[in-house]
Structure formats: structure tokens, C-alpha cells
Chains A and B, each alone.
Chain A
Amino acid sequence: MRTLTIVLLLTGAAFAQSMKFAAPCDSSKQVLSPAGDHLAVQCKNGSVHLLQLPGGRELRSETPNTRVATHEFSPDGRWLGLGFNDGTVEVWSATTDAEPVRWSAGKKPVELLKFSPDRQLVLVGNTLDANEVWEFSGAPVKLATLSSDFGSFTSAAFSSDGKTMATTGADTVVRFFDTTTWKQIRENRDLTLEPFAVQFTRDGKQLVIGGADGQLSVLDAATAKTLRKLPAETDPIDQIQVVNANQVVAIYTDLDGRKPPHLKLWDLIAGSSTPIQIEPTVTGGGIAAGKIWLVKANTQEIELSTGK
């Protein structure tokens, strides 16, 4: 399965219209930092590289003994989190030469990392049943273990003030947690199929969810009630990124691996969508100032450019 990662660039960093630099490896995944000033590259040989943009200078790299299952930047771009197959979590500083913070969060592959926007907290989810909140400002400390009916969380999003975290779970339940107490404060059980992606809207008043049902569900963040469901596609929604007040990009991925992913720009109010055309050579990307940035990576070089 090709994984296409679109990351919202909150600051609208001053990109040139395109940039090109030598690739550190034959990469399988590229993730842009929210500030648009770093690119994390996961390679087919198992190594991970943190590159500074626009020049592509390598800040740190590592070839771990075990496969990286996921990697994720913090919202402020200061941290890059790596989740490994053996349950290890590493947090790299993207702005200093500090040694990575490393700890074990169990023995199962870590497949979900989500940083808080206002504290050095990260939600860690593994493939089976552990959903843990860790603080890493000092020696890593587990602050909470969050429950589900069964299985792990599949995605999570923090409100912009960091006070609320919303999660989706393999059990199909959408949960809201108070990040002070880590108590569940609301839930929504309207979904029947597994959700894979969740985002708060810009104003924080609504929650947008997508998953195996191939449609966006919009929830009221204050009550957790379903406000509306947008028209369904046949393929599952793997990721959602917020573009502006009313628009999101949904990335549809055929999880059976039979066809490549495709993107749609959805207007949440009108309920209408526009397909986003991408070339087959696009392997990743991001969004800045309302424009989609696309990444093309091959064994020789990595190119970032604005989308059409």
C-alpha cells in the first residue's frame, strides 16, 4: 500500500514554489513538519532521516534494529516522534542537538503517536490494546492509560488549546478526554465501521471523522452528537487534513492494496467535493497557505512543489 501523508502546515512557511535536493535513501514515506521547515524520511532499508528544509540538510539519522511503525511531528514542529515495532518510542528534537528521549511503551508495535500542542505529552497507541499518555519533559512518565471497549485507538486529535483530546478507536467509538484529568467526558457511538482519522475544525467547534465507511462525519465537539454525514465513497478514508475554516482534504486509501490512494477537497458546509489530481509519482505532501505541497521522492532526489 502506498501511504500518502498530507500534513497541515499551520504557519504557511515561506516555501519557494519548488525545491529539490539529494535523497538520503530510497524512501517509503515522507512527512512534512507542521511548520514546513523539516521533512522526516523513512527509508526502505529501515533507516529514518530528519532533514532541514529547504536545503535538505540532514540533522539526524538512525538505522534502528527494529522497524519504525509510525512517525509524527509535534504541532509546533519541535519534536519528531518515532514508534517502533518492539514497543519503543523515541522523541527527537528537531531544533537542538539533544539526544533522543527513548522509552518502552510495551512490546507491541506502536502505530499511533499524537503530540499535545501545549505540553510535552504524547499519546501512544499500539496495535492491540494499549492507549497511553506519556510526558517526556523529563524522564518519560506514563500519566494515564485510556480505556476502550476493545482494541487500540486508531487516531487522535487535540483541540488547539490542548484541553481536549478526541480519539477514534478500533471499537468504532469516538471519545473526548479532558487532558487535565484524562477522564473521558463525552463519546459518540454512531459509527458502525472503524474510523481511521479525526481532526478538529479550525474553530474547534466541530470534529471531522473519516474511516472505513468512506465518508466524513461531522460531530459537535461540545456534545459529541453527529451533525451530518457527507456523501460516501467506496474507498476508506485514511487521513483528514484541515485546509481552512470550512474545507478539509480527505485521503482515500484502498486498504486492500488494489489501487493507489486518491484525494478530495471537501466543503463541510456545502457537502460538496472536488477531486485533487495528483501524479502517480507523488509520494507525500503537505498544505500551506491554502495550497497543497506535494513530495516526489525517488532513489536519487526529493522534490517538493506546490500542487495544482
Chain B
Amino acid sequence: MVCRDLAAQIVVTEIFFRSTISPQKWGGKMNAKLSRRDLLERCAAFGAVSFLIPASLTEVASAWDASDAKRLTPTPSCELGPFYKRLAPHEAHMRNDHDAGMPLWVGGKVYSESGEALPEAKVEIWHTDHFGHYDNSGYRFRAALVSDAKGAYAFDSVMPGHYPQRVCQHVHYLVTAPGHKPLTTQMYFGTDPVFEGDPAKNYTRDPLVTSIELVRPVMIKGDPKAMMAAVNFDVVLERA
């Protein structure tokens, strides 16, 4: 909360800089190498900034830097797809021992655009089995997860299969959190044969892949007898 208040104050300060301080007031031109702290010190010396909060220049400068650095772009959306199903179980372990297909672990965090982790975001995911079939009568490979206090979520499953109407293997996401727009998107695998090892070049082979950001690197973990594909997929929600 303190950080958020500080960030809000900094936005006000930044607008104040832009609207009232001309380059000439700094001795002819802006010094691009000024640190945030230097800038704030000089502003304070000229009376161009005042602080309504009990914080040192260093704290303000650090928070300002952090605020700039953490600004995140919302995750690109994709169409929902035809097989969303409400009321999926809150079960992160979707893989049974007898399931065909390479074991898959997916984890990530849910963030706001300002870079804050969003706890208790609802992360609904669904995908096909290894053979490319959705379970519409039941809830296999469907889950409704909730991000933890650090915004993290994770599930284990199997790598989804291909099916005739879709080019790429994919996992559907519907992510919702209070104060943010619902995100419907799909996550893809960099190892998908469709990409022929070069997702950056070939991701448009599936017209529904709206951004290379959605194609994630795959790490292979475990020993050769029990390998598992692991994928990290963070999502950023746009403020409502």
C-alpha cells in the first residue's frame, strides 16, 4: 500500500516536472545522465517539487525507478475457443499415471500492468488430451485455479495434442481478477513441430496465434525415463 501511494505521488510529481520545468531552468539543457535522485534534489532546490509523504529523496527515486521498470504490457488476447466449460474443478493436478502424452508442468504469475502480483486471480485453463480431444462431457484437462499470495499459479497435465481444425497445440486461458478486464488467451509451445524450431519466424502459421509472446519456451526436466515438459507463462491483466 505504501508503495502504491508513493507511486501515485510520483505520477503527480512527474506531471509537475513536465508542465512547469523548461530545459532552460536547468542551465541550458537537460542532462540525460542525471539520476532520479539528482533530478529530485535539483527540483527540491528550485522549489519545483515538494513531498506530501514522509520519504527521503532516495526512497522516492527508488520507487520512481521501480515504477518505471515494472510497467508491463497486457498479455495479448486470443479468441476463447469453442470448448470453454464453466464450473471446472479447483484441481491443479490433472494428470493421471495412465494418461498418454508427455507430462507437462505449467506455472506462472498473474500481474497487473503496474507490475504488482495479483493474488486470488481466477485462472481457468483447458486443453485437449494427447490425442487432440476435448472432454466436453466431463472435466478432464480442465481446471479453475486461484493465484496465491504472490500471484503464482501452477498445474500439471499432459502436452495437448493437435486436431484438424487447429494448427498448433495450445492451452486455453481465461483469467479474471477484480478491477481488471477478463483475459481470454491461449498459450503455445515453442517445441510445436509446426514452428519447425523457429517460432519467431513461423508462429503465424496458425492464424489464431496473435503474438509471439504467447509461444513459450519449453524446458525438459527429469531423467530420461520420466521426462517432463515445463513451461512458464506469466499473464498481465489490463485494468478495467
Interface residues of chain A, those whose CB is within 8 Å of chain B, are 1, 127-128, 149-151, 170, 172, 191-194, 196, 212-214, 236, 255-258
Contacts and interface: CB of A to CB of B under 8 A. Distances in A.
A196 B82 contact: yes
Interface stretch (B50-58, B84-92, B198-206): B84-92
A256 B79 contact: no
Given A128-B79, A193-B136, A170 B84 contact: yes
B164 interface: yes
Given A150-B182, A194-B85, A212-B83, 18 more contacts: A128-B79, A149-B182, A150-B174, A151-B80, A151-B184, A191-B86, A193-B84, A193-B85, A212-B85, A236-B82, A255-B82, A255-B165, A256-B133, A256-B163, A256-B164, A257-B163, A257-B165, A258-B164
B164 A257 contact: yes
10 contacts: A128-B77, A170-B184, A192-B85, A192-B86, A193-B85, A212-B82, A236-B136, A256-B165, A257-B163, A258-B163
Nearest to B183: A150
5 tightest A-B contacts by CB?
A150-B182, A257-B164, A257-B165, A192-B86, A151-B80
B166 to A, nearest CB: 8
B108 interface: no
A191 B84 CA distance: 11
B132 interface: yes
B232 interface: no
Interface string B169-194: 00000101000001010000000000
A128 B48 CA distance: 46
A128 B133 CA distance: 24
A214 B163 contact: no
Nearest to A148: B182
Nearest to B84: A194
Interface in B76-112: 77, 79-80, 82-87
A192 B87 contact: yes
A213 B182 CA distance: 24
A243 B182 CA distance: 38
Contact of A172 (B84, B134, B165): B84
A112 B118 CA distance: 34
Contacts of A191: 86
A212 B85 CA distance: 9
Contacts of A170: 80, 84, 184
B83 A193 contact: yes
Interface residues of B, number: 20
Interface in B185-240: none
Nearest to A189: B86
Nearest to A191: B86
Contacts of B87: 192
A40 to B, nearest CB: 24
Contacts of A255: 82-83, 165
A196 B81 CA distance: 12
Contact of B136 (A1, A127, A150, A214): A214
Nearest to A258: B164
Contacts of B79: 127-128, 151
B123 to A, nearest CB: 13
A148 to B, nearest CB: 9
Nearest to B174: A150
Most chain A CB neighbours (cut-off 10 Å) among B80, B87, B134, B176: B80
A170 B85 CA distance: 10
A257 B77 CA distance: 24
Nearest to A150: B182
A150 B80 contact: yes
Contacts of A213: 136
Contacts of A150: 80, 174, 176, 182, 184
A172 B81 CA distance: 12
A191 B77 CA distance: 24
B101 to A, nearest CB: 17
Contacts of A193: 83-86, 136
B182 to A, nearest CB: 4
Contacts of B133: 256
A236 B184 CA distance: 21
A111 B140 CA distance: 29
A256 B80 contact: no
B185 to A, nearest CB: 10
A257 B79 CA distance: 18
B140 to A, nearest CB: 14
Contacts of A1: 165
A289 to B, nearest CB: 33
Contacts of A151: 79-80, 84, 182, 184
Contacts of B82: 194, 196, 212, 236, 255
A212 B82 CA distance: 7
A269 B134 CA distance: 31
A136 B187 CA distance: 39
